[in-house]
Structure 1
Amino acid sequence: MTAVPRSAPVPEAGRARARAWLAGGLEPVPARDAATVLLLRDGVRGLEVYLQRRSGALAFAGGMHAFPGGTVDPADRDGGAAAWVDPPSAQDARRLGGPAAALLRAAARECLEECGVLPALDADGRPAGPVPPGDRADLLAGAVGLDGVLARNGLRLSAALLRPWSRWVTPLDQPRRYDTRFVAAALPPGQEPYETGGESAGGAWVRPADALHEHAAGRRAMLLPTQAALAELAPLPTVAAALRAAEDRDCAPVLPRVVERDGRLVVEVVP
């Protein structure tokens, strides 16, 4: 059994601000709603998840390995009900702890924007096939919204394809803070991630345990929530097992904090 990490060193780029926070010289900023997708497939050696390396130029988590995701946009909150064949339930809203339709819409949109995969259903209720690259490009350019992409391709969203997994809130010392809902989704048959640059510097399928070993060896930098999600996925043998596990998971918010222990700055989860 892979132990779920409860602490991690503060990355070098954040240490000066962390010390300023501990000294009492900073005010916390509000956390923005965000969503990220644990995109899963069954590989030859077991369950695999799609990991991207974020561009080093990004202000938040630059150079880190992470799952596709991002903040909830105004359009995610304003999207129409017609985009859903299976809208979020009251239970989804309770588990996500926020605007469920906006959060799951953001998860689907970010997955399409960042790696070209859209968890959705066609008019016959089957998993969506590949979205044309031109539609993804239009979405990234702001020429069309997610609802427009769905309409162009005869697709609709389904909450059943996006299973709540966990919820992490950025520590109070950070200048950019996110209330991030992690959701699990199976790779739709016939779709495959592809990279176009932008926020990502590359992506790959990886077994969760292998990703953690590479992190321990210094080859994959990751923030604590990514490490924790990988550790939770590592014991699960298949996509089906992971989606079943998602049904019973506690999605209460995890609120890590920065502390100094023996002269080292650490982000840790408070029991």
Structure 2
Amino acid sequence: MSQGQWYPPEWPDRIRALAAGELTAVTPRRAATVMLLRDPGHGAPTPGPVVHMLRRRTSMAFAGGAYAYPGGGVDPRDDDRLIGWAGPSLEHWAARLGVATAAEAQAIVCAAVRETFEEAGVLLAGETAGTVVGDTTGADWEADREALVARDLSFAEFLDRRGLLLRSDLLGAWARWITPEFEPRRYDTWFFVAALPEGQRTRAVSTEADRTVWIAPGEAARRYDLGELLMMPPTVSTLRALTPFRTAAEALGAADAQDLTPVLAQARLEGDELVLSWPGHDEFTKHVSPHGPVSGEGGGAA
């Protein structure tokens, strides 16, 4: 059994309560996360792009200690129709993301771009539809980033103040995972892929993380398999999916072909044992005995 898995101690009781009809599932909050890629320099130890990851502080209520990508929940103001926009239309994004309205699509894409800036200092925006901002490390940028984190400033206001357009064409939707129904905190999360813009660099600025790293997707997955890195199933799954690509641009170009059917864990009874599985992702199947701990392969909940 992988030592990189994440098993909250309350899982068995909550899974049994859900199976018995004694637990009402929490409505998942919409969220977005970005797999930020960059091509390695000459002489890199492994071919292909590396991905930016952060380790969530162990004090975090959700997935503490796990490695993840920059991301977070949708802000109620992320659907502000006054936002500067470049790239595919909102209607295109609504169809791609599987949501009913343009406003919903904008909120999800906006959350992806906003959270990447808040947690990594990288901004997917430009003065025109064909440009991207350069260095974002100055004191004025940091003040705006902190205001966004504190929700003192909406993302639309931030872009308008700086005369910028959100570059939605720099993102590719990659996957969608929904936290299992037995979890007390649930998220409906869209995973995006993007390349680090030229001239920008990531910064360890997230208060929710105690470490950041650039790592090859295959290496991260290998270290998960060895029990060296703690991760949740969607993180492991997306890392494995990124492994074949030789460049960040190649991965981004493959985004439109990715299946965005939501992945939602299912819990079922098999005799006296509860079985937790993710459709299409057998490596994460887990077995919960009537009185014992969770066992099986793979990582924790989405």
Q: So what's the TM-score if we normalise by structure 2?
A: 0.80
Tell me, which stretches of 5 or more residues in structure 1 are unaligned?
1-7
Instruction: Work out whether residues 9 and 267 of structure 1, in 8 Å CA contact, stay in contact via their aligned partners in 2.
Output: no
- Could you tell me how far apart the structure 2 residues matched to 1:267 and 1:129 are? 45
- Could you tell me how far apart the structure 2 residues matched to 1:259 and 1:203 are? 37
Q: CA-to-partner distance for each residue in 1:247-268, whole Å, 9 max, x for gaps? A: 2112111122245779886642
Q: CA-to-partner distance for each residue in 1:146-165, whole Å, 9 max, x for gaps? A: 12222233321022111111
Match of 2:65 in 1: 63
Q: CA-to-partner distance for each residue in 1:176-223, whole Å, 9 max, x for gaps? A: 111111111111111111112411111111100100111111121111
Match of 2:87 in 1: 86
Match of 1:240 in 2: 249
Q: How many residues align?
A: 263
1:13 aligns with 2:6: no
Q: Which protein shows a greater Rg?
A: 2
- Could you tell me how far apart the structure 1 residues matched to 2:68 and 2:27 are? 22
Structure 1 pair 193/14, CA: closer, same or farther in 2 (3 Å)? Answer: farther
Match of 1:72 in 2: 74
Pairing partner for 2:54 from 18, 27, 52:
52
Instruction: Work out whether residues 34 and 103 of structure 1, in 8 Å CA contact, stay in contact via their aligned partners in 2.
Output: yes
Match of 2:133 in 1: 128
Pairing partner for 2:121 from 110, 116, 125:
116
- Could you tell me how far apart the structure 2 residues matched to 1:65 and 1:215 are? 10
Larger mean Cα displacement after TM superposition, 121-130 or 152-161 = 121-130
The CA RMSD over aligned residues, in Å, is 2.2
Structure 1 pair 113/197, CA: closer, same or farther in 2 (3 Å)? Answer: closer
- Could you tell me how far apart the structure 2 residues matched to 1:166 and 1:82 are? 25
Instruction: Work out whether residues 129 and 167 of structure 2, in 8 Å CA contact, stay in contact via their aligned partners in 1.
Output: no
Match of 2:27 in 1: 30
Q: CA-to-partner distance for each residue in 1:25-66, whole Å, 9 max, x for gaps? A: 211111111111111111133211111111111111111111
Tell me, which stretches of 5 or more residues in structure 2 are unaligned?
281-302
Matched-pair identity in %: 40
> SS state of the match for residue 63, structure 2?
coil
Report 1 or 2 for greater relative contact order, CA contacts < 8 Å, sequence distance ≥ 6: 1
